């Protein structure tokens, strides 16, 4: 009974003992935390931003003024640094925007190249625009032709680096198989008769073609040409031409095809020197047909000396000008006919280039440029405008551009082509407009014949 009572008493005292023990522990923890906090505050006071208050508390008033000046100076420096940091931050933002824009443009360009490579597998080899690599992917002979070729004496002040590349149209590399076929031959042997292939490449924009190390086939039984001036109006012998590429195999065949129906041939009457060609540019009807003498009379005698006839067929315009002591170069292709051979046989100068190639003349050099029927609405507008600007480029100040029978639809006349010619900047010396008389097809086709002058500034 006594033991039970004592245990009861002990149990009653346990809660109070436990509470007191917990209270004592909390008190010790508070005391410990207070000591730590006090030490931290003390350290902070003597080492932090307010340490100078204790460091200099015993200083004199003059020393306090020095400290104040130092504080003001530091404050000014901090303000200046803040301004600089703000400017740098703005520049950094601008740079970031520029880099983002460049990355976007680069991404778009890579996407375009990828699309081109997908359309034409050859382009995948040309993404880096390395002409040596591009040439190697096509053929060894083309790679050798294009170069680079090291200059014998190294660096040249005119060329620059110690190596040189041969020019070739960028579009050539888009027609892998055709160009590979064109550059396949026996080196030092006879070139294949591939006029159709080579001219097809030119018409696709592969111009100039790469050079080749082979000999063109020569005509059999070739005879010397007719002497000037008789050669101007003499049909050359058939033995002056390699006829394999053409449907006609003689000049007489070319003359006769003007009688064939339809317009499947370019310049159907160009080879008839006795009739159709003989009467061109002799008379001036006051309308669309200008006479050569009337055109030359617009300038001082003897000042029209050299020029270019664009798409000049068999060279009759150049022949008429030569009779008047004017030298004309005739640009023409061989569209199912030996146009270049015919021009040369007449004692005139042919140039085998398309209308789309940049004219191989320096600025401000030619006295006259003529074009009949070749320039017209069959050309894309933008391409035509580039051609007109190139004509302007090669003409000397005061030079003449004879736009002979430019054809277009009536709806295009004042909407497209008259404003285009005005933009190029020629002066109008003569201007005639007329409807093309075509009894078979009525398509509202109009002609412009104009004599234009490059201004003298």
Report CA torsion sign: 167, 170, 176, 177.
negative
Judge whether 442 and 281 are in contact, CB under 8 Å. no
Specify which residues 400 forms β-bridges with.
368, 453
With 0.85 as the threshold, say if the pTM is over it: no
Q: What topology is assigned to 230-453 in CATH? A: Rossmann fold (3.40.50)
Tokens of 308: 């270019």
Cα–Cα distance for residue pair 173/180, rounded to 1 Å: 10
Contact in structure between 284 and 232 (CB atoms under 8 Å)? no
Q: Which residue has the higher pLDDT, 73 or 454?
A: 454
Grade residue 120 by pLDDT with cuts at 50, 70 and 90: very low
Arithmetic mean of pLDDT, 18-37: 53
Strand, coil or helix: what is 398?
strand
The two three-digit tokens of residue 264, written as one number:
């499947």
Q: Across residues 146-166, what is the average pLDDT?
A: 74
414 has a pLDDT exceeding 70: yes
Q: Which residue has the higher pLDDT, 334 or 121?
A: 334
Q: Is the dihedral of CA 348, 353, 356, 362 positive or negative?
A: negative
Q: Is residue 399 scored above 80 in pLDDT? A: yes
User: What's residue 54's pLDDT?
Assistant: 46
Domain residue limits, the chain: 72-119, 123-203, 230-453
Q: How confident is the model at residue 12 (pLDDT cuts 50, 70, 90)?
A: very low
3-state secondary structure string, 232-272? HHCCCCHHHCCCCCCCCCCHHHHHHHHHCCCCCCCCCCCCC
Geometric angle at alpha carbon 246, from 240 and 250, rounded to 5°: 45
- Of 1 and 88, the structure prediction assigns the larger pLDDT to 88
- Residue 291 and residue 280: Cα distance in Å, rounded? 8
Give percent of the chain above pLDDT 70: 71
């Amino acid at each position: 009974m006594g033991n039970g009572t004592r245990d009861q008493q002990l149990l009653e005292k346990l809660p109070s003992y436990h509470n007191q023990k917990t209270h004592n522990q909390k008190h010790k923890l508070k005391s410990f935390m207070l000591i730590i906090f006090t030490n931290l505050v003390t350290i902070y006071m003597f080492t932090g931003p307010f340490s100078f208050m204790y460091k200099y508390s015993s200083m004199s008033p003059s020393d306090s003024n020095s400290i104040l000046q130092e504080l003001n100076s530091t404050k000014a420096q901090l303000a200046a640094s803040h301004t600089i940091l703000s400017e740098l931050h703005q520049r950094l933002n601008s740079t970031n925007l520029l880099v983002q824009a460049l990355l976007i443009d680069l991404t778009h360009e890579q996407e375009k190249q990828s699309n081109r490579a997908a359309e034409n597998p050859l382009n995948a080899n040309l993404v880096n625009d390395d002409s040596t690599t591009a040439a190697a992917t096509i053929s060894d002979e083309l790679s050798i032709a294009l170069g680079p070729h090291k200059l014998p004496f190294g660096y040249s002040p005119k060329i620059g680096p110690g190596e040189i590349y041969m020019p070739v149209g960028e579009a050539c590399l888009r027609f892998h198989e055709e160009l590979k076929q064109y550059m396949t031959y026996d080196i030092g042997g006879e070139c294949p008769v591939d006029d159709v292939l080579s001219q097809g490449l030119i018409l696709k924009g592969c111009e100039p073609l790469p050079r080749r190390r082979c000999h063109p086939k020569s005509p059999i039984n070739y005879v010397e040409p007719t002497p000037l001036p008789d050669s101007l109006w003499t049909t050359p012998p058939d033995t002056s031409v390699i006829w394999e590429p053409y449907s006609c195999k003689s000049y007489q065949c070319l003359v006769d095809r003007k009688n064939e129906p339809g317009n499947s041939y370019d310049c159907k009457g160009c080879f008839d020197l006795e009739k159709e060609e003989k009467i061109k540019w002799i008379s001036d009807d006051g309308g669309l047909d200008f006479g050569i003498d009337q055109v030359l009379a617009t300038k001082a005698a003897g000042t029209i000396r050299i020029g270019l006839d664009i798409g000049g067929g068999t060279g009759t315009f150049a022949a008429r000008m030569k009779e008047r002591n004017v030298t004309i170069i005739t640009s023409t292709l061989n569209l199912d006919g030996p146009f270049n051979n015919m021009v040369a046989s007449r004692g005139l100068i042919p140039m085998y280039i398309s209308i789309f190639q940049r004219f191989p003349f320096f600025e401000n050099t030619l006295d006259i440029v003529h074009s009949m029927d070749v320039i017209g609405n069959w050309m894309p507008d933008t391409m035509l405008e580039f051609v007109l600007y190139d004509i302007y480029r090669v003409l000397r100040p005061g030079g003449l551009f004879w736009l002979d029978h430019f054809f277009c639809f009536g709806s295009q006349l004042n909407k497209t082509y008259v404003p285009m010619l005005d933009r190029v900047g020629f002066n109008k010396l003569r201007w005639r407009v007329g409807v093309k008389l075509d009894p078979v097809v009525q398509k509202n086709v109009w002609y412009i014949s104009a004599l234009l002058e490059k201004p003298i500034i």
